[in-house]
Structure formats: C-alpha cells, structure tokens
C-alpha cells in the first residue's frame, strides 16, 4: 500500500503524518507500505523547531525530510492520497480532478480539517508565538495519537 499525505508547505501537518505513520507501522511490524508526503505549494522553508522537537520527543527523527510539491504522478504512484485540510481537498479537486479523503475523515469519520497556523486558527497569529508553538505541539501529538485509528480505517478509503 502506498500512502501520500498532503498539506500546504510539507513541513508541518503532512510531514508529521508521514513520519508518525512510518513510526507506527515500524513499531507494529507492519511492512510493505510506502509512506510519503507532499505540499500543494511546498515553497522551500525550514521546518519549525517546535514541530521538529515535538517529533523528536516522540522518538521520531524528521531531520532528513525534504519538501516535495504535489504533482500528477503522485496520483499514479500512490494508492491513497490523504488531505490534511478541506482546502487541500479543494486544491486537488480543482488542479488534478481527484477526490481524496481528509485525515480526520479516515481516523474519526468526520469531515474536519487539521488546521494550519493562520488567521483561521488564531486571529493575528503572528503576534502570538506561544500560542503558535502550543498549537504545533498539539497538532503533531494529535496526528501521532491518531495513527492507530488511521491504520484501522484507511483501507476503506482506497479505491480499487
């Protein structure tokens, strides 16, 4: 099974999902899965220290991560493409004419997004670095803790 997670920059949500799923599969001796991530824009920028440090605290090393931009070939190479936010679903629908499930939809059966750090989540977010760091830590841990549910449910979303 080949699984691709998609967010905007590929340095926070989709990247965390990729590394958390790899970790879960390895710890549970589930093999023969290719897991990756990509961003709808993926403009080169560094990973936020709070994201990196939260993953490292969970025993996951993301330091070799390289940002990847979503391209049409991903829809050929991956059995399941998963959007982290409704805006990514819409981007994929418009630019690639594909329908993909949301991360929360697979894990919890709800069509909800894992928000990014922006005004949607925290108005005037740039003025609140502590709130940004708390949310990044929360989101990474939420993704990490969701992996058992993801693995339990993801096959239901694979189109044959």
62-91: pLDDT as tens digits: 999 999 999 999 999 999 999 999 999 999
Q: What pLDDT is attached to residue 118?
A: 83
Q: What is the pLDDT of residue 160?
A: 67
The predicted model scores a pTM of: 0.96
| Mean pLDDT, rounded, for 48-70 | 97
The average pLDDT across 136-157 equals: 97
Q: Is 109 helix (H, G, I), strand (E, B) or coil?
A: coil
pLDDT(2) > 70: yes
Question: Which residues pair with residue 38 across a beta bridge?
Answer: 6
- Which CATH number goes with the domain that contains 117? 3.40.50.2300
Q: Which residues are within 8 A (CB) of 81 and not within 5 positions of it... i.e. 6 or more apart? A: 4, 6, 74, 75, 92, 98, 100
Can you tell me the distance from the alpha carbon of 124 to that of 126, in angstroms, rounded to the nearest whole number?
6
What percentage of residues in the chain have a pLDDT greater than 90? 88
DSSP β-bridge partners for residue 7: 39
Residue range(s) defining the domain that contains residue 124: 2-157
- How does the average pLDDT of the chain come out, rounded? 95
- R_g of the chain, CA atoms, integer Å: 15
Least confident of 6-10, 22-26, 104-108, 114-118: 114-118
d(CA 48, CA 34): 25
pLDDT grade for 122, boundaries at 50, 70 and 90: confident
For 8, 41, 58, the CA distances from 68, given in Å and listed in that order, are 10, 9, 23
Which residue has better confidence, 98 or 118?
Answer: 98
Which of the four pLDDT bands, split at 50, 70 and 90, describes residue 125?
A: confident
Total number of domains in the chain: 1
Q: Do residues 108 and 149 make contact, with C-beta atoms less than 8 angstroms apart?
A: yes
Q: In this predicted structure, what is the pLDDT of residue 154?
A: 97
21 has a pLDDT exceeding 80: yes
pLDDT at 120: 77
The CA-based angle 50-56-60, given to 5 degrees, is: 130
Task: Give me the percent of the chain exceeding a pLDDT of 70.
Answer: 99
What whole-number distance in Å separates Cα of residue 12 and Cα of residue 152?
23
């Amino acid at each position: 099974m080949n699984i691709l997670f998609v967010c905007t920059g590929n340095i926070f949500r989709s990247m965390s999902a990729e590394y958390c799923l790899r970790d879960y599969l390895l710890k549970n001796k589930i093999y023969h899965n290719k897991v990756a991530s990509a961003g709808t824009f993926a403009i080169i920028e560094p990973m936020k220290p709070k994201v990196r440090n939260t993953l490292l605290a969970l025993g996951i090393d993301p330091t070799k991560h390289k940002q990847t931009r979503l391209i049409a070939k991903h829809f050929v190479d991956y059995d399941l493409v998963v959007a982290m936010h409704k805006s990514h679903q819409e981007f994929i629908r418009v630019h690639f004419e594909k329908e993909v499930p949301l991360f929360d939809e697979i894990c919890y059966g709800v069509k909800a997004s894992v928000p990014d750090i922006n005004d949607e989540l925290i108005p005037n977010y740039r003025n609140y670095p502590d709130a940004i760091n708390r949310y990044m830590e929360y989101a990474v841990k939420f993704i990490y803790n969701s992996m058992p549910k993801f693995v339990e449910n993801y096959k239901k979303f694979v189109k044959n």
